Amino acid sequence: MSSPTNTGADPASLSRGRVLLVDDEQPLLTSYGRILRGGGFSVEELSDARAVDGALERGGFDLVMSDIGMPGMDGIEVLQAVRRRDPDLPVVLMTGGADLATAVNAVRYGALRYFLKPVEPAALHQIAEEAVRLRQSTRAKKRAFELYEHVERETAERAALRERFDRAQATLHMAYQPIIRWSDRSIFAHEALVRTGEPTLRRPDHLLAAAETLGRLDELGRAIRASVAASIRATASRDAVFVNLHPQELQDDELFGAASPLSRVAGRVVLEITERASVGSIGDLQARLEILRRLGYRLAIDDLGAGFSGLSCFAQLKPEVVKLDMSLVRGVERDGTKQKLIQAMTALCGQLGMLVIIEGVETVAERDMVVGLGGDLLQGYLFAQPSPTFPSVAWHAT
């Protein structure tokens, strides 16, 4: 039977290291355990080597000291069990009778030392201290190597991301999707949607995430706004254009400059601030919003119903326009809860003098349901796909 004993020393002694001591001779096991504890080590004793796997699974050992000649599981098998779990854990083998073949196997499987019993207390202390130092040194080197690898990997990944982002910036362009007024079958506005030729950053959320990681969000925002401004100036249309704005861009001074490209056409621009990200960190938010409105911009909350800031964001921004997220629209004809939410939010915004746009309309059934719930301004693939130019709507197809 195994007789595990885990006699913990005081906190100071625990810093000397933990030893797993395995020997089927109880008097020697007790004696060696006492000697090691006297030297400041924490010791777990096993008189049955077959309990080694369980002890190793609990982990935390700095050294395993094992007798070789034991019934059920000998010291070489203990050494092999240790190596399967931890190639770097020091193992010291002890035997009452020298055997060349056993010694060879001890070396083969990486035993730190091979002692003849009885082992003198001084030698026992010395080998334990040596093994623990080796263990700690190995751990430190391993941690340092892992940290180095982590830094190297992060550096390489960041460099690759920078290259991909540069390619995305070089191929950045805009696509436009109409927002329609269903009641009179007219185009109310267009939304500018960022596009890029870089395959790995084609999705706008991936592009924005890359910009955030690289600290280049302002740079990306400026490029998008300049592109939209150029499109507005190049078209004879007088329709409004919705431009997505990351909340962090509200801290970019270029946005508030009267001479900036987009500010020159601000009267035709609605800035969509996504509800998926918080504006709470912007201390002078109200003052900044007031500047934008004086320049001629109108404000919209994008994706209302998808994020976590909810009515708090709604109250802070006091937008002229609210866009309900497509997650509320998908399958709305079969979902009574979504119907009630859309109806309630549309009514509330109407009472506050805010326009409501319902986005993500893809089927006739969705369109008919949201119109029946009070929606009139709609956006989605049912009406038109995004296009590099301001597309028209094929009304007969809807």
Read off the tokens for 19: 């030893």
Is 260 a residue whose pLDDT tops 90?
yes
Q: What is the mean pLDDT of residues 128-156?
A: 80
Top-confidence residue, 276 or 119: 119
183-209 burial code (b ≥16 CB/10 A, e <16): eeeebbbbbbbbbbebeebeeeeebbe
Q: What is the mean pLDDT of residues 151-175?
A: 92
Helices (H), 183-258: 204-214, 217-234
Q: Which pLDDT score is estimated for 134?
A: 84
Q: What is the mean pLDDT of residues 228-247?
A: 91
Is 376 a residue whose pLDDT tops 90?
yes
Instruction: Please tell me the distance from the alpha carbon of residue 23 to that of residue 123, in angstroms, as a whole number.
Output: 17
Q: Which pLDDT score is estimated for 85?
A: 87
Read off the tokens for 238: 């007088």
Report the share of the chain in percent with pLDDT over 70: 89
Q: 318-350 pLDDT, tens per residue?
A: 899 999 989 999 999 999 999 999 999 999 999
Contact 59, 44 (CB under 8 A): no
Domains of the chain as residue ranges with CATH:
5-142 (3.40.50.2300), 171-397 (3.20.20.450)
Q: 275-308 pLDDT, tens per residue?
A: 555 676 777 889 999 999 999 999 998 877 665 4
- Rounded to the nearest integer, the mean pLDDT of the chain is 86
Is 16 a residue whose pLDDT tops 90?
no
22 CB-contact burial (10 Å; exposed 0-12 / middle 13-18 / buried 19+): buried
Residue with tokens 């994008």: 302
Is 131 a residue whose pLDDT tops 70?
yes
Collapse the DSSP code of 48 into the 3-class scheme (helix H, G, I; strand E, B; otherwise coil) and give the result.
coil
Read off the tokens for 192: 């500018």
Confidence of residue 96 (pLDDT cuts 50, 70, 90): confident
User: If we measure between CA atoms, which residue out of 155, 91, 168 comes closest to residue 127?
Assistant: 91
Read off the tokens for 264: 């020159």
Is 310 a residue whose pLDDT tops 60?
no
Q: pTM value?
A: 0.66
Q: 48-73 pLDDT, tens per residue?
A: 989 998 998 887 898 998 888 888 88
Confidence of residue 101 (pLDDT cuts 50, 70, 90): low
Q: 262-274 pLDDT, tens per residue?
A: 999 999 999 998 7
3 state SS for 106-151? HHHCCCCEEEECCCCHHHHHHHHHHHHHHHHHHHHHHHHHHHHHHH
Residue with tokens 């083969």: 108
**Sheet harboring 42-46: ordered strands across?**
5-7, 42-46, 18-22, 63-67, 91-95, 113-116
Is 351 a residue whose pLDDT tops 60?
yes
